[in-house]
Amino acid sequence: MKRKIQEKILVVDDELRMCESLKTLLSNSGYEVETVQDGEEAIRLINENNFDLIVADIKMPKVNGVEILRKAKSKDKENLVILMTGYGSLDTAIQAIEEGAYDYFLKPIEFQDLERAIKRGLEKRKVDSDRKRLLEELKNANEELKKRVDELNALYQAGRALSSTDTLEDLLANILSLATKVIGAKTGSIMFLDPDSKNLSIKAAIGLDKEIIMNTRLELGKGVSGYVAEKGQPLLIEDIEKDPRFKRMSREKYETKSLICVPLKVKEKILGVINLNNKLSGEVFNAEDLKLISTFASQAAIAIDDAYNFEQSRKKIAQLSVLHQIASRLSTLDDFEELSGFIFEQLKKIMPLDFSFWFDWDERNQKVRLSLIQGLEKVSRDKASGLEIPVLDLDIFDRDKLCEKIKKRLSDEGVIPQKSIFCSFPILAEGAFHGILCAGNFRELPLSREEEEIISIVGSQAASIYERQRAILNATRLLTMGNMMSEITHDLKKPLTNLKGVIQLLKGGKGEEKKEELLEILDREIQRASELVRELVDFSNPGKYQTEKKSILSPLEKGLKLLETDIEKNRIKLIKVYPDNLPPIYINENELLEVFINVLLNAIESMSEGGELKVELGRHYDPQKQDSFLEVCISDQGVGIAKENLNRIFERYYTTKEGGSGLGLSIVERIVKAHNGFVKVESRLNKGTKFFIYLSCS
């Protein structure tokens, strides 16, 4: 027969007789009794043992019964303590109850009453203990049930999420969130396997630093994730420090030593892995966790594969759409800055780009020169302005070294952060090297190999088309110059004819009486011929009409500065109207300076009594020429030009000014024509003149 376990009772009283009496009586009732007469010793016994009930006298030296009650309750609030005293009072009783005493007796004690109180107390303790145990068992059962329900619900939710998520990024985030929630993991990640490089990289993560996410690259077969991806089998590690296959590389990464890694596999194709570690409970992962997450991963892998293929198709469509837009516009944009800006904005739609740099190639000096910047703030553009990078010691087709050198220079100058994603691409057009296109982002999002190839191809195509357009433009300008040279040659016939006629008169002896007059004619016509020959030489000199893209304000302001004294001398009020954002155009600055000086000087000389000189800039579209022009309007309040003379002002040698050569405006017209532009004049006698100069923006 199984022996009943005796309840343990501690009796504390400083009277030896009381302790012995209670021990005898309670022992006879079947209890295991221990007695002590010192309060400090009682506290030591309470700390070292578990008593079912304590009977203590309130009034004792050193440590009294109330302090013993407090100590017992602090150890276990369920401890039963009965207090007794020979000095009873209402205050003492109230204090005992407030401190949590089960019962309170006055001495002398009736044993039957004490025994009944002890019996009730122990029965209550047993009932409370059984109830607590049952509640704990019920709680554990509910938690286990909840866990199973959560697991089933997670699989159900996963099925819904996997079929309804729009993007691969959202899908991966949902899968990882559900996996960590169900398994109870604090940290997790999904890694994808690149089929080309055979490297694993993190595509979704919970509880990992951004730097770890960005920089983690694992070779197939290396580390836990690489091992699982290579073997294609799930892996449960109870203690990574003791597993002979792996070395614990980072104690910070694993707060607990247990982890799970399962493959994402469709048929025999490995897409990647799911990693889970740092269990919230601090416990190790178990076989049920591994089974659940493996089932989950099988379902997730199918959805990931479908989403990946769909996203790749959508990405291809977006790329083709953007490439079509770029191809459609390349041939219609004449301005390379506008062209590069359009390309940059289009490429941003299909890849993570925050900036781009275009470098021109200076073959003579073996260096690249920064010509265009897209996407940066003005402060960064100012830092990069005029930047030149020697590449004499580098192979210009060695992309890695070239990229490293340019990135270092830009980061040293404070243009971009050192951690930026940065790529460079040699620009080839018509079989020749034209420069370098650099692009990247501040978000530390690497560009794929496919994205890099797109940038390289688009950059080279843009440069090739632009060079062809420049060649056509140069040919057009050469044709314009050829026409003007024909005009000058035609004009040269007149002085030559006059020279020939005078010489024939002198040879025949018929001009002796008008010799002085004829010699004067000879001198004048020789001077005219000399001027025409000089102009012919100027137009035939390619270097003289070499143009560069600049603001029209540069030669205009220089001209105004040179004539500043004349403006003040004639008491003329100068008004300038310059709108913002006027585009730079291709000009020969010295030649346009001559144009502006000629026109401004005519306006100043027409206002000898003072007046208002107005210089206005603007944009003009000519529907007949189907071209955009930059308009320069110089207006005065001078004497004006008679209507009958207005059509002759551009004729060579025509002038109404005393001592004038008649060459100024004819040269103005020819220089403007050389810039693919034209000139118009409006004038009224004694009201003033408006001189319009139109310069092509293409």
Rounded CA-CA distance 221/200 in Å is 10
pLDDT digits (tens, 9 = 90+) for 493-536: 666 776 777 677 666 666 566 667 777 777 766 766 666 666 66
Same domain, residue pair 368 and 253: no
- Arithmetic mean of pLDDT over the chain: 80
Q: What is the pLDDT, as a whole number, of residue 384?
A: 83
304-313 pLDDT, tens digit each: 888 777 777 7
Same domain, 291 and 422: no
Q: Are strands 432-441 and 421-429 parallel, antiparallel or unpaired?
A: antiparallel
Domain membership flag for residue 155: no
Of the ranges 237-251, 432-446, 656-670, the best mean pLDDT one: 432-446
Q: Tokens 């490995």 sit at which residue?
A: 270
Same structural domain for residues 374 and 253? no
Q: 541 and 509 share a domain? A: yes
Q: What is the mean pLDDT of residues 190-207?
A: 88
Does 147 reside within a domain? Answer: no
Determine if the pTM surpasses 0.85: no
Portion of the chain with pLDDT greater than 70, in percent:
79
Residue keyed to tokens 């909840």 = 146
**Which two structure tokens, joined as six digits, stand for 323?**
């490439």
Do the beta carbons of residue 691 and residue 634 sit within 8 Å? yes
Percent of the chain at pLDDT above 90?
Answer: 10
Q: Give yes or no: residues 528 and 577 share one domain.
A: no
> Are residues 424 and 492 both part of a single domain?
yes
Pick the last residue of a domain from 492, 512, 546: 546
CB 545 within 8 A of CB 588: yes
Give the lowest-confidence range in 353-357, 430-434, 560-564: 430-434
Residue 634's pLDDT band, with cuts at 50, 70 and 90, is very high
Same structural domain for residues 633 and 519? Answer: no
Is residue 462 predicted with pLDDT exceeding 80? no
Q: Does residue 674 belong to any structural domain of this protein?
A: yes
Distances (CA, A) of 396 to 57, 62, 260, 459, 461: 98, 94, 48, 16, 19
Strands of 355-362's sheet, edge to edge?
Answer: 388-390, 367-374, 355-362, 432-441, 421-429
Instruction: Give pLDDT tens digits for 70-110.
Output: 898 888 888 889 988 887 777 777 888 888 888 888 888 88
527 and 559 in a single domain? The answer is no
Q: Is residue 419 part of a domain?
A: yes
Residue 299 to residues 152, 365, 489, Cα–Cα distance (Å)? 13, 61, 86
What's the confidence (pLDDT) of residue 11? 92
pLDDT digits (tens, 9 = 90+) for 221-254: 888 889 999 999 999 988 777 777 675 544 445 4
pLDDT tens for 544-603 read: 556 777 888 988 998 898 888 888 888 999 999 998 888 888 888 888 888 888 889 888
Q: CB-based burial of residue 10 (10 Å sphere; 0-12 exposed, 13-18 middle, 19+ buried)? A: buried
Residues 360 and 387 in one domain: yes
Q: How confident is the model at residue 673 (pLDDT cuts 50, 70, 90)?
A: confident
Q: What mean pLDDT do residues 628-635 have? A: 90
All residues at 6 or more sequence positions from 78 whose CB lies less than 8 Å from its CB, including other chains: 125, 128, 129, 132
- pLDDT value at 153 more than 80: no
Residue 693: phi, psi to the nearest 5? Answer: -115, 120
Domain span at residue 690? 548-696
pLDDT at residue 614, rounded to an integer = 92
Q: 367 φ, ψ to 5°?
A: -150, 160
Of 325 and 615, the structure prediction assigns the larger pLDDT to 615
pLDDT at 274 over 80: yes
Give strand ranges (E) for 13-164.
Answer: 32-36, 53-57, 81-85, 103-106
Considering 210-214, 232-236, 283-287, 375-379, the range whose residues carry the highest mean pLDDT is: 232-236
The mean pLDDT value for 661-681 works out to 76
Helix 65-75 / helix 90-98 crossing angle, nearest 10 deg: 10
Q: Residue 617 pairs with which residues in a beta bridge? A: 632
Picking from 518, 546, 574, the residue at the C-terminal end of a domain is 546
Q: Given a cut of 70, is residue 199 above it in pLDDT?
A: yes
Q: Determine the pLDDT at residue 491.
A: 63
Q: What pLDDT is attached to residue 174?
A: 84
159, pLDDT greater than 70:
no
Per-residue pLDDT reduced to its tens digit, 387-407:
888 877 666 677 788 888 888
Q: Average pLDDT of 160-165?
A: 58
What's the CATH number where 175 sits?
Answer: 3.30.450.40
Q: Which helix (H) or strand (E) holds 273?
A: strand 269-279
- Nearest Cα neighbor of 296 from 353, 380, 234 is 234
Last residue of a domain, one of 523, 546, 569: 546
The total number of structural domains in the chain stands at: 4
Higher-confidence position of 470 and 460: 460
Statement to judge: residues 614 and 505 lie in one domain: no
At residue 635, the pLDDT reads 92
pLDDT of residue 394: 64
Q: Is residue 148 part of a domain?
A: no
The CATH number of the domain holding residue 102 is 3.40.50.2300
* pLDDT given for residue 655 in this prediction: 57
Predicted pLDDT of residue 420: 87
Mean pLDDT of 266-286: 87
Q: Is the pLDDT of residue 117 over 90?
A: no
Query: Pick the residue with more confidence: 538 or 173?
Result: 173
How far, in Å, CA of 106 to CA of 84, rounded?
6
Q: How far is CA 253 from the centre of its chain?
A: 27
DSSP 659: T
Q: Is 488 a member of any domain?
A: yes
Confidence band for 275, pLDDT divided at 50, 70 and 90: very high
In terms of domains, do 188 and 278 share one? Answer: yes
Is residue 662 pLDDT above 70, yes or no?
Answer: no
- The answer to the question of residue 646 being in a domain is yes
Query: Is 138 part of any domain?
Result: no
Would you state the pLDDT for residue 163? 59
566 and 510 belong to one structural domain:
no
**For residue 659, what pLDDT is reported?**
41
CATH code, domain with 562: 3.30.565.10
